[in-house]
Amino acid sequence: MAEAHQAVAFQFTITPEGIDLQLSHEALRQVYLSGLRSWKKRFIRMRNSVISGAYPASPYSWLFAVVAILATMYTRSDPSMGLIAKIQEHLPVSESLSVQSQMVVLALLLGTLLWLSFIFTMRLCLRQLLSYHRWMFELHGKVSNTTKVWMVLMKLFSGRQPLLYSYQASLPYLPVPAIKDTLRRYLESVQPLMSAAEFERTTTLAAEFENSIGSRLQWYLKLKALWASNYVSDWWEEYVYLRGRSPIMVNSNYYGMDFLYVTPTPIQAARAGNTIKAFLIYRRNVNLEELKPSRIPGTVIPLCAAQCERMFNTTRIPGEETDTLQHLQDSDYVAVYHRGRYFKLWVCKAGRLLSAREIEFQIQRILDDPSLPSQGEEKLGALTAGDREPWAWMRKQFFSSGVNKRSLDCIEKAAFFVTLDDDEQGMMGDDPAGNLDAYAKSLLHGKCYDRWFDKSFSVVVYKNGKNGLNAEHSWADAPTVAHLWEYVLATDAFQLGYDGEGHCKGDIDSTLPRPQKLTWDIPPECEEQVSRSLSVAQALADDVDFHVFPFRDFGKGRVKKHRMSPDAFIQLALQLAYYRDRGTFCLTYEASMTRLFREGRTETVRSCSNESCAFVKALESGEEADVCRRLFRLASEKHQNLYRLAMTGSGVDRHLFCLYVVSKYLGVESPFLKEVLSEPWRLSTSQTPVQQMELFDLVNHPEYISCGGGFGPVADDGYGVSYIIVGEDLINFHISCKYSCAQTDAHRFGTHIRQALLDLLALLDTDQKEPIRSGKTQAKKDQ
């Protein structure tokens, strides 16, 4: 109880001589330093708000404007064209001020007015420049004069070093596409998946929708677009994520893996120490806005940074009808789980962050703690893995007061969650490929009770020093979390580092209080619900089939030599692989970002197109290589165009989704929208971005490649495929499906993907003149 006594700033006892007051100078010092740190943070936030609010102008330009106005007034010229005289007439205190004071006040008022007008004009110009997207559709090497002028202006407006949120107020708003364009693109996307009769029926439904309630729904949507920062994001967050009542484990949460070939240290506590420290450094950089704004690679075009705001100190709170996101400005501790026990680990002392070595020391204390879990504590996290309604009921009934509320608050208000796992994971042992599959499943769901799936993200550190990440999806999308995870891995290995024995570097303050073990009073009724939630989660986890494999035969370098987009190449390989796997085509989802716009999140690229289907059929039917190559390039160009349309706000699915939400608010039924929103995505794909920050040279350190991350299958009879293009010669794939579906098999589909990639590269080889044979025979042999 030593730490409890240290927390008491003063004590008093009543004696016959009076009151004996005892002050704890150390406790008072900690209170003072904590308050000083809090005020420093407030000042920094206020300063950054001023700097970002003035961007692309500078706060110092205000002083220049005031001094310039004052100088012209002293020279008896009137740059305001009579405005100064008008202000002087209506200035309430003009008679009580001297002439010099009046000039200063007038200069301040007029200078501020001109400065604000200048900021508004600059911001409006920058927003117009950022609204220009024609450059994205121009062929490489054939840049128009308009785009060349635009590039020069963008460089001029991006000259000053921006803070993380400097561009937020200048980003354009997501436009609402014309309803006829959206319907045309939708019909084009489903045509290869339907028979002639089905397509005619769908076309009729679309026409009836456009001519009946479509215009009315579109009017309401345009009204929202004028009022809101983004007409999609708030509804997408609420209705797609927060209102879902099924488990978020597997169905919504996703994961990120450690380095593929390297484990910086085999010591669990040391890896946890550096990992936690790296997260805290990133959080400090976010709070200070010292991170550079993300941009489209190779350009000065900024991306929206709004998702960074809720990265830390955020938890999803269960509700009976809808969940909510709870976000705090700051948190001085992390929640740690080990062997069924929950701990509160302080990461700050006397206004400073603990060093990585001190965090390792504290983690080791938790690992060495011999205490047992209290009754009902070990599997309590299963409540976050099961259905949402029972968790909301349990939280309201048993965690709204007393010791349970205090302990739950410690978890929910923590900066993030850490699991110290007793298992060993990674690409290791006699079956490295099989171990990668187990590694993926461990990060996706674990034991179904040893992660807190409601936290914005949970860090998992394994016994052998491997680590990983499980992220909740409602607050942000994968690229934002990938940016964070890439920073953490690079900082851990290349900046913080380890000593010769594998421990974190730095000194230890021996007076650090021990991590606080949380206490619980779990009644039998709650334990019963924990068991039921665990059964639901366990059945879901056991049904997930996962296959992770690195494709080393070639990478984007070989593909780019053929002047083809690597992403389009992989997407067409997935179409070919699915056709070989199932003998048909399916509605395909590829996630694209809309962060060119304010508060943008994602849009769907419908990768299965008329062009891709024509190419696959030609290849599989043994058409001549020249014919297949021509169709291949047409399909690739079509996919790139679809991706660009999605990025620039002209996608299909978010627009139709919002029209559907408006129809529900108005209480009108649309057979067309109902049918569109119920179509299953049997192939859901996503590319994980890599090297969003150049923290180390991947060419000189090729062993420090990321394995990427993945997610669970979206449809019960479909596949989830995540891939990461690493360097020039490697592509990592993460494939998921369900054992309960007899038609799907993750390993079989992985074999088809591998063969499809090889077949497509062979097709692009210019020296190949013979007809291309189907890869079915080879794929069967590989199986």
Amino acid, res. 137: F
CB atoms within 10 A of CB 306: 20
DSSP strand pairing (719-726 vs 730-738)? antiparallel
Residue with tokens 């927390």: 7
Residue type, 623: E
**Torsion angle (degrees, nearest 10) of CA 679, 682, 683, 686:** 60
Parallel, antiparallel, or unpaired: how do β-strands 314-317 and 324-327 relate?
antiparallel
DSSP strands (E only) in 613-729: 683-687, 709-711, 719-726
Please, which residues have CB within 8 angstroms of residue 11's CB and are 6 or more apart in sequence?
21, 22, 24
The DSSP bridge pattern shows strands 324-327 and 457-461 to be unpaired
Q: What's the token pair of residue 340?
A: 């069924």
Judging by beta carbons within 10 Å of its beta carbon (0-12, 13-18, 19+), is residue 481 exposed, middle or buried? buried
Biggest distance spanned by C-alpha atoms of the chain: 107
Of 693, 732, 680, 683, nearest in space to 710 by CA? 732
Choosing from 445, 473, 503, 655, which is the catalytic residue? 473
Whether the CB-CB separation of 260 and 732 falls below 8 Å is answered with yes
Please identify which residue in the block is written with the tokens 């169709």.
631
Contact (Cβ atoms closer than 8 angstroms) between residue 432 and residue 707: no
Phi-psi region of 169 (alpha: psi -120 to 50; beta: other; left: phi over 0): alpha
Helices in 648-732 by DSSP H: which ranges? 653-666, 671-677
Residue with structure tokens 């180390």? 696
Q: Tell me the CA end-to-end span of the chain in Å, nearest whole number.
A: 61
- In degrees, rounded to 5, the angle at the alpha carbon of residue 573 between the alpha carbons of residues 571 and 576 is 115
CA 328-334-337 angle, to 5 degrees, is 130
Tell me how far apart the alpha carbons of residues 102 and 112 are, in angstroms, rounded to a whole number.
15
The 3-state DSSP class for residue 778 equals: helix
Helix (H, G, I), strand (E, B) or coil at 336: strand
Residues 187/76, Cβ–Cβ less than 8 Å: no
Task: Based on the residue annotation, tell me whether 90 is a catalytic residue of this protein.
Answer: no
Q: Smallest Cα–Cα separation from 494: which of 685, 697, 311, 348? A: 697
In sequence order, the 6+-apart residues with CB closer than 8 A to the CB of 265 are 271, 274, 465, 498, 502, 503
**At CA 778, angle to CA 774 and CA 779, rounded to 5?**
95
Going by C-alpha positions, the residue among 517, 273, 310 that lies closest to residue 411 is 517
C-alpha distance from residue 201 to each of 187, 190, 593, 655, 659 (Å)? 11, 12, 32, 21, 21
Query: Are 450 and 553 within 8 A, CB to CB?
Result: no
Contact 686, 477 (CB under 8 A): no
Provide CB contacts within 8 A for 678, sequence distance 6+. Answer: none
**What are the tokens at 271?**
């890896």
CB within 8 A of 742, min separation 6: which ones? none
Calculate the CA 629 to chain-centre distance.
36
Q: Which residues are catalytic?
A: 473
